[in-house]
Structure 1
Amino acid sequence: MAGQRLVVFALLQVVLLQQSFELFSASEMKTVGLRRQRSPTAAVVAGRPGGGGGWHDLDYGNLTNAIRDIVAATTIDCSLAIHTGVETFGRYASSSGRWTAHVLLYLYYSYFPQIRRNNLMSRNVLYVFLWLRSSVSRTFRSGISEALRVCVITSPRPGFYQIYYSQATANAKHGSELKMVNWWSAVDGLVRFPLLPSPKRVYSNFEGRRFIVPVLHKPPWMFVEYLNDSFRVDGGRDDKLINLLANKLNFRFTYIDPPDRTQGSGLDRGSSMQGVLGLIRRRNKISDWFVGDLSITYERNLVVDFSFLTLVDNEAFLTHAPGRLNEAFSLIRPFHWSVWPLLLMTVIFAGPILYALIDSTDGHPKGKSMLYWKCVWWSVTVFLQQAAIIPSNNCKIRFVAGLLMLSGTYVIGDMYSASLTSILARPPKEPPINTLFELSKAMRDSGLQLLVEAQSASQTMLENGTGVYEDLSMLVTRQREYLIESTEKGMQLVRDNKNYAIIGGRETFYYDIKRFGAQHFHLSEKLNTRYSAIAFQQASPYRENFDDALMQLFEGGILSKITEEEYQKLNDKLMGSENYDAEYVAIEPVLEGAQESRQDDDDRRLTTAMSMKTLQGAFYVLAIGSILAGLLLFIEVRSYGKLRNDKRMKRERLLANNKTRFIQLELPPSKASNNKFQNRFYNI
């Protein structure tokens, strides 16, 4: 294979030293072979029948030619490096910036355990062993796992070498099986080229192989019903995806219930990994791969290999639906609070300004007090859109008054009426929380508590993020509890209590919002894009076959179709329920990778009919005006009675001091005008 490949030669029977990268010295190999004959593990023993197929000496010429051809067929476009042991190779492989073809020249008894312990298994690593016995031992075969690419070269007779490969069959019964894939002869050389079969061709058909797949309940991706001692998968988008892959690649699968029922976030930074990813990493045949709402993160990518994406999602947070503002203050909401002081100042000073203009233009030596109050009352009636007579016949005054009437009636009045109509038809709500900065401010000021699913990608982002994520992490650590078992539990808390918020995948929230009622939640804007994929064991040989199948499903729109079917099922289920409300269950199709913005639920809701509760602000104003009018009337009556008593007492004092014969009685003020008219009539 061309490109980046790592080839490791472990010669367990005969150790080949190499002076160059192309030619092997037969004399040096013979010297090393004789020295290795003293080792108890050496299979080729001079003079002993049965070792190495019954022949007493090695054919070093053919062996050199065979190794040279095998290396040439395996290490195309790669360079070679010689190491003396697995420790040296492990240090080099972990620190090297490029892949190199490595030749390991060291005899080691327990080689496979060290490979697993040092995590040297990779799809780009090939371990080649030279085994000169008649057959490979069972101990050697049992140490080979499927993720470990092992090539064994045997020599049943001089001048003929067989090449066995551990990843030559897709349906291995016990871990991995060695199968002959090529051979070399002194006459024909290497029969097949390239040396090993392609993994895509080998794993294109699993021949009914059974995989073990852990499953977690997370609608709409997977619906799992947990019983007393068992569970039952009740469909879901990922269940359909697994069935499609099974039909495409011809395999079977068995669902298992993981112990802690979490995904695993990789926060431990050690060998112990929790959740489903921990089961996959341990390679203990409990789980082969996992499909779900599993976001790709840096920490997770260190312990598992991810396939082609299965879902394009966005990070978001969910809060309780904003409550309606008090409708009693609807009459003052058409204008911003900064507009009302200017408007009141305009109403107050319009009358005095008009009086000043009339006084300076016409000049009224008499009745100035009455003119002033006429101007004030005229300005009030104009802004209240009532009929009023301009208190002047001057054209200049009428022009100024006309401009004031136009601005008060057609500008301020119409704007106020239009805004008030829209507010009464659709009552306003509290400002929602849409950004992370608003969420952080609400957590500081209002005591809002943020929840996150345990061992999820959102938890990783909170605990490892910077900037506003770091601030949120500090705030959630002050809470008594912020980790929850599942997203469903968090949404129930948010629905029942407005002091909670939850962060997670937007598509999962969008689906659960329809289930629990859209009127209870508010979904924030998209924070960042995250991708979900299938998690495989590291160095999984069949990952590319799954990638090809997923790419075909993605390009053909099958992933979008099976996702839309889950939303349609939910819509049909809600329509058949008793609490169906078309206002809150409108289903919108979800497209993976689509950049079209989805409108929020609040924008799609219908306007509500006007009711008496909506008009309660007008009745409050009427009640307040009636109370003020009654209070002013009461004050005026009391003042008038007190003034009348004062006048009577003053008159009695005057009568007492004036000792005249004629006592003039004063009539009531209400008859003063009539008395004055009668006196003038008698005088005439």
Structure 2
Amino acid sequence: MLQKKFCEDGPCRAAVRSVILGAMADYLVSVRTTVLSVVFLAARTLAACSEDNGCFLSRSEAGDLNLTSAPLIGTPKALPLATELNLRNLRSGQLPVSGLGDGGSFTEVVQEEDQSLSRLLVAIVTGEMRQCVLVLVFDSSFEGSGSLKQLVALPNPKQLVKVAGPVDFEKVLWSSFSCRGYVFLLSDVTPLLTFADFGDYAWDYDGRYLIIGSSKSELQALSSTKKGRKTESLAGVVKYPQRGVWGIYCNQIVWAEGVQRLTTWQGSKFTTTTPLYPDLLNDLHGTSLTVVTFPWEPSVIYKESKKDGTQVRYGRDIGVVETLAKVMNFTLTYTEPPEGELWGNKLEDGSWTGLFGFLERGDADIGVGNTFVSNVNGRLDVVEFSSPYDADVSCFLGTRPPPLPRWQRILYPFQLSTWVAFLVGLLLSGPVLCFLARVWDVRNEEHSSFKSLLNASLYTLGLHLREPQAYLPSRRSTQVFVSFLWMYTIIIITGYCSNLTAFLTVARQPPSIDTVKQLYASGLNVAGLGYFFGKALQLSSNQYLRGLAERYEVHTRYEDIWTEVRRGTAVNLESRKTLQYLVTTQLTSRGVTPMRIIKECFSPHEIGVTVQRGSPLRRKFDTWVLRMVEAGLIEHWFLDSLRIAKKDAMENQKNDNTKTGDGKEDTTEGEEVEQVAVAGVRSRSINLDHMQGIFFVLFLGYVASGLIFAGEVVMGRKHAGGDPGFD
């Protein structure tokens, strides 16, 4: 009709026919060129496509066809080229070609692979992430794909994030209180690799990850990044050359590098029933983990072996890590921070020294040494802590004031108010007895000795001293008075004598510092190792503790602290159990110590195993640490450490002591100190040093009687005219 309408004559129709035939010829040439290009490229790269490699067809941004090869795992030796198509590259190219061998049209291949991938993703999510919040991260190549649509249609709560570069991954919500699954559909995983190798933040180390669109080598690169090597539940899907066949790989984290194949997806099912997110930490296959620690009694104690002279470690914290090594099947390699660094301090550039520095840099996997579960100085920015296995408080250690003079011990059974009442009663008893004996004694019934004030006073004094008296009162009034006086003296003297023995054998300490307020008022400095306790004082809500923070002194060696404490110019601030150990094993001689722990403590804290930030070991450690606590192993290791250390200290002290000829320690009576040990007071015989108070009283009696005797001699000479004789 067109020809009839526009070209009525023959030449015109011939021209139109020529144009149409020319266009058809050009189209056929174009199609032939396209097919030949594919065949040429296939032939050119066929040598690179070995039995372990697949050939991937794609179109570049300029429209050129590319045929490349990449490693494939588990592929058969002979595969049709049409089945060796990488879905990631096909989706980005959208190649509208056909006739690619016996596998069918290009569009059919793409649709079939997309459907197979969709079934795979739905199977993984419904089987492994059914109760999880889904985070779907995709790029432009997967936008609008059937795989993404199938995932969006699932009932899980979800977040969708489209990414084009590493910065876009910061849009992801990387934390959740419940299970969280992360599915990455990426045609290019390079941005993800860049993001995963930058810092430890913005990542959910407890989440479950599934990577789509990567090769095995790219999965291995992801598992080697800073975040990837600490992520236990990391799986990836790799396309195999066969249609509808995909390989599933998982991370190996601690006990091996790279990834390992778990199972294969063929068409619509897995070839095995292997869990896609296995527990990789139940058995670490003897992997060597590095533990950074340092001597810190009683948590970590170093001792030289008597058998071969090698250095062995024991203590509460060593017991914890060695038990973890046994139940999780890994070996321990110990290392130490440089001398004086201990736990470490935060530097101006944000990095850390000491134990925390080793964990921050990745030089160690585990850190122990009485580490407090705390965020002081920003510790949680570089490390994480396991569940606590012990608790403690921060206390002050100071010098014990010298005991009161021994001669005062006879006064200790009564307080001052009791002594005043006792003396008043003693002074009044004699005059009252004399008064009752004299008044209304018209018949002269009462003994004459009671009518003398001096004799009556001596009589009542004898009753107070339990001394039997030769005379008894005769009158009713004096008899009643003396009867009550007997009861009074029996009770009060019995109470005095029952306490006297204890006070004679045990030294009495003068009033000492027991509260933080008293410590602040004393003006003493506070000495501690590192900056931790200084920060704890500054952050306290107690005004006196904040005041002590201004007098806090930082030290790196305990010997320097002890020098100041013994001098009486400072107190040591440390955890209570550490101070108890030091007092028991190193600051005690023959059962007595010059040091004491101030009663009022502050800042209760918990103690746990320290690991790298994001370390997968923490979750498994939590489980086993709680079992150790429930079994009572923590307290057992602590008490065992005290027992061994105390035994070693006694042996060392015994070897260092000067020996006499018979092998006994050379001690004098003045060196017989009070045997106040940790377990209690040991019974000792009462020696002259204990009884010096009563001999002091006897000496005063000699002096007083001598003075009175001298006075009597003088007065007698005056009355006798100088005759020194006595009647």
Q: TM-score, normalised by structure 1?
A: 0.69
User: Partner of 1:198: helix, strand, or coil?
Assistant: coil
String of CA shifts for 1:340-395, please: whole Å, max 9, x gaps.
Answer: 11111112222232333334442599999964444344333433444446685312
Which residue of the partner structure matches residue 581 of structure 2? 511
Structure 1 residues 407 and 265: alpha-carbon distance in aligned structure 2, compared to 1, 3 A threshold:
farther
Indicate conservation of the 8 Å contact 1:224/1:234, yes or no.
yes
Alignment of structure 1 residues 238-253 onto 2, 5 Å: 238-239=317-318, 241-253=320-332
Which residue of the partner structure matches residue 334 of structure 1? 413
Which residue of the partner structure matches residue 402 of structure 1? 483
Asked whether 1:289 is paired with 2:366, we answer yes
Indicate conservation of the 8 Å contact 1:263/1:276, yes or no.
yes
Equivalent position to 2:277, from 197, 200, 223: 197
Instruction: Work out the percentage of aligned pairs sharing the same amino acid.
Output: 18
Structure 1 residues 472 and 270: alpha-carbon distance in aligned structure 2, compared to 1, 3 A threshold:
farther
User: Partner of 2:610: helix, strand, or coil?
Assistant: strand
Unaligned runs of 5+ in 2: 1-57, 67-87, 98-102, 133-156, 658-675
Structure 1 residues 444 and 242: alpha-carbon distance in aligned structure 2, compared to 1, 3 A threshold:
closer
The whole-number CA distance in structure 1 between the counterparts of 2:609 and 2:437 is 85
The whole-number CA distance in structure 1 between the counterparts of 2:507 and 2:320 is 44
Which residue of the partner structure matches residue 620 of structure 1? 696
Indicate conservation of the 8 Å contact 1:203/1:542, yes or no.
yes
User: Partner of 2:351: helix, strand, or coil?
Assistant: coil
Shift of 1:306: 2.7
Structure 1 residues 120 and 361: alpha-carbon distance in aligned structure 2, compared to 1, 3 A threshold:
farther
Structure 1 residues 669 and 400: alpha-carbon distance in aligned structure 2, compared to 1, 3 A threshold:
farther
Aligned pairs, how many?
Answer: 572
Moved more, 629-638 or 142-151: 629-638
Moved more, 215-224 or 397-406: 215-224
User: Partner of 1:136: helix, strand, or coil?
Assistant: helix
Alignment of structure 1 residues 23-34 onto 2, 5 Å: none
User: Partner of 2:397: helix, strand, or coil?
Assistant: strand
Equivalent position to 1:279, from 333, 355, 358: 358
Which residue of the partner structure matches residue 146 of structure 1? 229
Indicate conservation of the 8 Å contact 1:80/1:103, yes or no.
no
Indicate conservation of the 8 Å contact 1:123/1:539, yes or no.
yes
The whole-number CA distance in structure 2 between the counterparts of 1:325 and 1:134 is 80
The whole-number CA distance in structure 2 between the counterparts of 1:517 and 1:296 is 28
The whole-number CA distance in structure 1 between the counterparts of 2:539 and 2:174 is 24
Indicate conservation of the 8 Å contact 2:528/2:573, yes or no.
yes
Which residue of the partner structure matches residue 180 of structure 1? 261
Shift of 1:335: 0.7
The whole-number CA distance in structure 2 between the counterparts of 1:611 and 1:215 is 49
Shift of 1:286: 0.9
String of CA shifts for 1:10-55, please: whole Å, max 9, x gaps.
Answer: xxxxxxxxxxxxxxxxxxxxxxx99999999x84434499xxxx99
String of CA shifts for 1:51-79, please: whole Å, max 9, x gaps.
Answer: xxx99663333333333333333431132
Root mean square deviation, CA, Å: 4.7
Alignment of structure 1 residues 632-671 onto 2, 5 Å: 632=708
User: Partner of 1:162: helix, strand, or coil?
Assistant: strand
Which residue of the partner structure matches residue 72 of structure 1? 126
The whole-number CA distance in structure 2 between the counterparts of 1:140 and 1:615 is 81
User: Larger relative CO (CA 8 A, sep 6+): 1 or 2?
Assistant: 1
Shift of 1:423: 1.6
Which residue of the partner structure matches residue 93 of structure 2? 45
Shift of 1:472: 2.8
Q: TM-score, normalised by structure 2?
A: 0.66
The whole-number CA distance in structure 2 between the counterparts of 1:36 and 1:117 is 33
Moved more, 378-387 or 396-405: 378-387
User: Partner of 1:504: helix, strand, or coil?
Assistant: strand
User: Partner of 1:184: helix, strand, or coil?
Assistant: strand
The whole-number CA distance in structure 2 between the counterparts of 1:363 and 1:413 is 36
Shift of 1:523: 4.6
User: Partner of 2:496: helix, strand, or coil?
Assistant: helix
The whole-number CA distance in structure 1 between the counterparts of 2:177 and 2:619 is 24
Which residue of the partner structure matches residue 678 of structure 1? none
Indicate conservation of the 8 Å contact 2:219/2:236, yes or no.
no
Structure 1 residues 259 and 185: alpha-carbon distance in aligned structure 2, compared to 1, 3 A threshold:
same
Indicate conservation of the 8 Å contact 1:322/1:522, yes or no.
no
Which residue of the partner structure matches residue 533 of structure 1? 608
Asked whether 1:61 is paired with 2:115, we answer yes
Shift of 1:194: 7.9
Letter in structure 1 aligned against 2:117: L
The whole-number CA distance in structure 2 between the counterparts of 1:565 and 1:369 is 69
Alignment of structure 1 residues 416-435 onto 2, 5 Å: 416-431=496-511
Indicate conservation of the 8 Å contact 2:431/2:453, yes or no.
yes
Alignment of structure 1 residues 108-507 onto 2, 5 Å: 110-115=191-196, 116-117=198-199, 119-131=201-213, 136=218, 142-143=224-225, 145-148=228-231, 150-157=234-241, 158-167=243-252, 170-173=254-257, 177-186=258-267, 188-191=268-271, 196-199=276-279, 202-224=280-302, 233-237=311-315, 238-239=317-318, 241-259=320-338, 262=341, 264=343, 271-280=350-359, 282=360, 284-299=361-376, 300-301=379-380, 303-311=382-390, 313=392, 315-321=394-400, 323-362=402-441, 371-388=452-469, 393-408=474-489, 410-431=490-511, 438-454=514-530, 458=533, 461-467=536-542, 471-479=544-552, 481=553, 483-485=554-556, 490=561, 494=565, 496-507=566-577
Asked whether 1:607 is paired with 2:690, we answer no
User: Partner of 2:333: helix, strand, or coil?
Assistant: strand
Shift of 1:547: 4.3
Indicate conservation of the 8 Å contact 1:126/1:150, yes or no.
yes
User: Partner of 1:579: helix, strand, or coil?
Assistant: helix
Indicate conservation of the 8 Å contact 1:309/1:533, yes or no.
yes
Indicate conservation of the 8 Å contact 1:294/1:533, yes or no.
yes
